Amino acid sequence: MSLDRSGRRTEGCDSCMGQTSSQGPRMSAPVRVLVVGAGSRGEIYSEFASIHPERMRVVGVADPRKFARTKLQKQHKIPDDNTFDNWHSLLEKDKFADAVLICTPDRHHKEPAVAFAKKGYHILLEKPMATTAEDCKAIVEASTESGVMLSVGHVLRYDPNVHKIKDLIDAGVIGDVIHIQHLEPVGFYHFAHSFVRGNWRNEAESSFALLAKSCHDIDLIHNWAGARRCVKVSSFGSVSHFNKDNKPKGAADRCLDCSIEKDCPYSACKIYIDRVKQGDSGWPVSVICPNSLPDIESVTEALRTGPYGRCVYECDNDVCSNQVVNMEFEGGLTAAFSMVAFTEEICNRKTTIYGSKGELSFDGYEVRVFDFLTQRSTNHKAHKNVLLPFGMSGHGGADYHLMDAFISAVANNDPSLIRSGPEETLFSHLLVFEAERSRREGRIVYCGDIKKSSGL
């Protein structure tokens, strides 16, 4: 099975929700999928079956949390026999689905990915692939040897506007790419929620921030650089502000008990309670009550006893709140990436790509190209209808497009429909590990031949 760049799909960036894709004939039966990890991501991806029951059916689920697996079971009418509190039991059954969506926490990706690949299931694996380079390679090896398709949850590759950038570069509209500048603004309360109090706050429990949050961005930069290999990388970053030294005088250990929380932008009362009071139980409120639906009582209880009620200056967080990565690719192409927690915007990336013939910029909404010869600008806005009621509007609709591509790939037995396949994803993950090595060791890392070291 070859997933090289030339085999990759380049059309379809404007495909609309609700339309059938233009990807040729499909199997007449819907693609049957299993869900391993029925949390936030597992539930979102499963929604594709509600939008397109003729294309996908969720036929099995495994999650140790009863509340999560029962919710998914009810939504998709999954028989009791196919509902488990652990994925090993799903795997022990004779193969009864075409694909599996692996949406477990970061440190629980490798084992199920390798095991389901060996059993012949096509795999949609959430990012990061795994938390070590060795485990990432093992996953790619297992899927290649078993001849199954592997798609990694690099959703931004499927964002129609982001894909437009790649199309414009490949069409030569800005000439040779000389420099890429890319910013990921995480958002002040998003960072406090996920990376100070929440699931991705502590490297030993999840992974370092560049992998957990910014593997998407390094993957995009790698993709925009085309076939050019990254030769050198350097990185700096640290945990700023969110530590005991910055705890204001008089602050309590929990926001519910804090007499000065009104003056704190990171107060859990503001982030969660105020939202529920206004009738907003969407993210981030939706993910803080592990065993019930969020309402004022359950949210208050979660803040009283759970991790999300802690003072942001009293957490066990150790992942970077700000990090820069500089890269040099073959032919002198340079790239500068910044991730920062302290922003108004939430994950709305800003990109400028400087080429020999023009400058391309993307503000998260529209792609603009300034042509040096004509001195004119052209705006490009990819069409993306988003089916809000189905909850698949995440990442600017990219979640939907990723599922659309994966289900079409499985239905048509055509891996070229997958933009985030094993080879490129492994290379960009290896680059993330090299960048983090540079930050830790305080030196420039010479990347060597990532392709050779990947074993592909």
Ligand X SMILES: NC(=O)c1ccc[n+]([C@@H]2O[C@H](COP(=O)([O-])OP(=O)(O)OC[C@H]3O[C@@H](n4cnc5c(N)ncnc54)[C@H](O)[C@@H]3O)[C@@H](O)[C@H]2O)c1
Q: Which residues pair with 368 in a beta bridge?
A: 361, 379
Of these, 31, 33, 48, 63, which contacts ligand X (CB under 6 A)? 63
Residue pair 319/212 in contact (Cβ under 8 Å)? The answer is yes
Q: H or E element: which one contains 131?
A: none
Please identify, among the stretches 22-30, 58-66, 161-169, 337-345, the one whose residues bind ligand X according to the rule CB under 6 A.
58-66
Residue pair 120/148 in contact (Cβ under 8 Å)? The answer is yes
The Cα 222–Cα 216 span in angstroms is 10
Decide: is 105 part of the binding site for ligand X (CB under 6 A).
Answer: yes
Decide: is 306 part of the binding site for ligand X (CB under 6 A).
Answer: no
Which is nearer to ligand X, 186 or 333 (by Cβ)?
Answer: 186
Please identify, among the stretches 36-44, 235-243, 352-360, 418-426, the one whose residues bind ligand X according to the rule CB under 6 A.
36-44
Reduced 3-state DSSP string for 216-254: HHHHHHHHHCCCCCEEEEEEEEECCCCCHHHCCCCCCCE
The distance of closest approach from Cβ of residue 258 to ligand X in the complex, given in angstroms and rounded to an integer, is 26
Please work out the total of residues on this chain that contact ligand X, with binding judged by CB under 6 A. 27
The distance of closest approach from Cβ of residue 84 to ligand X in the complex, given in angstroms and rounded to an integer, is 9
Of these, 12, 30, 153, 415, which contacts ligand X (CB under 6 A)? 153
Decide: is 71 part of the binding site for ligand X (CB under 6 A).
Answer: no
- What SS3 state is found at 434? helix
Decide: is 287 part of the binding site for ligand X (CB under 6 A).
Answer: yes
Decide: is 98 part of the binding site for ligand X (CB under 6 A).
Answer: no
The Cα 334–Cα 326 span in angstroms is 7
Decide: is 39 part of the binding site for ligand X (CB under 6 A).
Answer: yes
Decide: is 199 part of the binding site for ligand X (CB under 6 A).
Answer: yes
**Closest-CA residue to 217 (of 431, 438, 454):** 431
Of these, 115, 117, 130, 155, which contacts ligand X (CB under 6 A)? 155
- Residue 175, Ramachandran bin (φ over 0: left; ψ between -120 and 50: alpha; else beta): left
Decide: is 423 part of the binding site for ligand X (CB under 6 A).
Answer: no
Decide: is 175 part of the binding site for ligand X (CB under 6 A).
Answer: no
The Cα 396–Cα 362 span in angstroms is 14
The distance of closest approach from Cβ of residue 393 to ligand X in the complex, given in angstroms and rounded to an integer, is 13
Give the distance from CA 255 to its chain's centroid. 30
Which is nearer to ligand X, 174 or 403 (by Cβ)?
Answer: 403
Decide: is 269 part of the binding site for ligand X (CB under 6 A).
Answer: no
Of these, 98, 126, 219, 404, which contacts ligand X (CB under 6 A)? 126
Decide: is 231 part of the binding site for ligand X (CB under 6 A).
Answer: no
Decide: is 41 part of the binding site for ligand X (CB under 6 A).
Answer: yes
The distance of closest approach from Cβ of residue 265 to ligand X in the complex, given in angstroms and rounded to an integer, is 23
- Give the helix ranges, DSSP H, for 60-146: 66-76, 87-92, 110-118, 133-146
Cα-based angle 151, 155, 160 (whole degrees, multiple of 5) = 115
Decide: is 40 part of the binding site for ligand X (CB under 6 A).
Answer: yes
**Closest-CA residue to 394 (of 256, 282, 299):** 282
- What SS3 state is found at 27? coil
Q: Which residues bind ligand X (CB under 6 A)?
A: 36-42, 62-65, 68, 86-87, 103-106, 108, 126-127, 153, 155, 199, 212, 287, 395
